[in-house]
Chain A
């Protein structure tokens, strides 16, 4: 029953939504019901799915870049006190800077639409995977660190055999958060970039439908974004469970 609960709740929610829209007589250009949204999607499914693939491509590229950068910087900051002192403020600046404030600049500076949206999404997705990995690298048990010292282990062996494996659960938790944020960052960057961006993602479809007051199309694109977010979260959750089970920790 617990497993079915989300689907049952979603079905009930959609049913009540459709009933409320029909009974109140509110026009579809203000609040469309689920049936109207589905109809909007079915009028041009190829366009929506192409846009979805575009957004997904940017999201996955941003997630890959932010993961590589986040892990590399976390390892560097763990290995070098100087690097930690130098980079720590910049990671916080990246975290607190609103992407809408810098996305137009990135679009202008970078020029290439795909690269500029990936950069914006990477800035948003970077911090969780970085900070969680850094926390995991620092959380290696003190007793094991002593054991490595007693046996003459160098920094590389300690990193390879202790700190990195110990950081895996932290990294996976951060990756799951970053996965969602990469999508949020992609959509934000697409909206801010507007027609200056890649002009093919789901966010652009929302903007385009908004300009034309095609509200059901806006909702159709929004529903696809929500489904994509759920799928990314579920996939990264499954990856984390599989890896931890393989290591005998789950």
Chain B
């Protein structure tokens, strides 16, 4: 179990990005960190990944060893692909950094690309792919190491709604297939309610966790029009409004 124990982070310019954020994440969970810009969602994700260090508190892996390099997959807001490498080489990158040979990794690369529906685009360079396809390559790259924990930082925010819906459906299917823990940052209430089993509401100035809401809605594409989903969106919206009522105006 991943435990975040009263994490605090203050940037050098004095901004308190995160204030005593505590959270427990069970293995296999799908958690959405939801909140407006500047509430510390991405900072929290970077602290979990070990890309940044907290000024106070700690990240603990209770009952399990801390993840080794490659055991945390990270999907960024942009696809962040190597523009000079094709899709297969981009997916190969994490394996290459861990010393795997290209020939030995071929099956893993093909499987990762197939998982995101891009097996026919292995030789395509990023500039030859659409925004949605580039993000799929980025997800394949994050999954190719078979991570225990997948961290996603607003990965679909820059995509059009049709592509976003499609990728959300595919992400849910992938999550059920590979059964890894997912922490997904978003500022969309609809996206958080659609994807996550647990929605963590965050508020800004300073960034803190305001509430947690569990989802009982059966995940899947058919859920978008389900009354239970609409009700969950309403519940989260009310909770978010209540939480933001106590914060300074943006």
- Report A's interface with B, CB cutoff 8 A: 141, 143-144, 146-153, 157, 161-162, 165, 168, 247-249
Contacts and interface: CB of A to CB of B under 8 A. Distances in A.
A150 B74 contact: yes
Contacts of A165: 82, 84
A151 B98 contact: yes
B221 interface: no
B49 to A, nearest CB: 6
Kindly name the residue among B78, B83, B97 whose own CB sees the greatest number of chain A CB atoms within 10 A. B97
Contact of B93 (A141, A147, A149): A147
Interface of B: 46, 49-51, 68-70, 72, 74, 76-78, 80, 82-84, 86, 93-94, 96-98, 125, 127-128, 141, 145
A151 B142 CA distance: 10
B105 to A, nearest CB: 13
A182 B82 CA distance: 33
A176 to B, nearest CB: 19
Given A152-B70, A168-B84, 11 more contacts: A143-B76, A144-B82, A146-B49, A146-B51, A150-B70, A150-B74, A151-B93, A151-B94, A151-B145, A248-B125, A249-B127
The 4 closest A-B pairs by CB, nearest first: A152-B69, A143-B80, A248-B125, A247-B84
Nearest to B97: A151
Kindly name the residue among A149, A150, A157 whose own CB sees the greatest number of chain B CB atoms within 10 A. A150
A247 B82 CA distance: 11
Contacts of A168: 84
Contact of A150 (B51, B83, B86, B128): B51
Given A162-B82, A165-B82, A249-B83, A146 B76 contact: yes
Given A147-B94, A148-B97, A248 B69 contact: no
B121 to A, nearest CB: 13
Kindly name the residue among A151, A152, A249 whose own CB sees the greatest number of chain B CB atoms within 10 A. A151
A141 B72 contact: no
A10 B184 CA distance: 62
A246 B72 CA distance: 33
Nearest to A247: B84
A148 B83 CA distance: 15
Contacts of B86: 248
B112 to A, nearest CB: 14
A151 B84 contact: no
Given A152-B98, A247-B84, A249-B127, A147 B70 contact: no
A157 B94 CA distance: 11
Contacts of A143: 76-78, 80
A89 to B, nearest CB: 26
A178 B188 CA distance: 50
B134 to A, nearest CB: 12
A151 B72 CA distance: 8
Contacts of B49: 146, 150
A157 B97 contact: yes
Kindly name the residue among A146, A165, A249 whose own CB sees the greatest number of chain B CB atoms within 10 A. A146
B73 to A, nearest CB: 8
Contact of A151 (B70, B78, B125): B70
Given A151-B70, A151-B94, A152-B70, A248 B80 contact: no
A172 to B, nearest CB: 13
A160 to B, nearest CB: 11
12 contacts: A143-B76, A147-B94, A150-B50, A150-B74, A151-B98, A152-B69, A152-B97, A152-B98, A161-B93, A165-B84, A168-B84, A248-B127
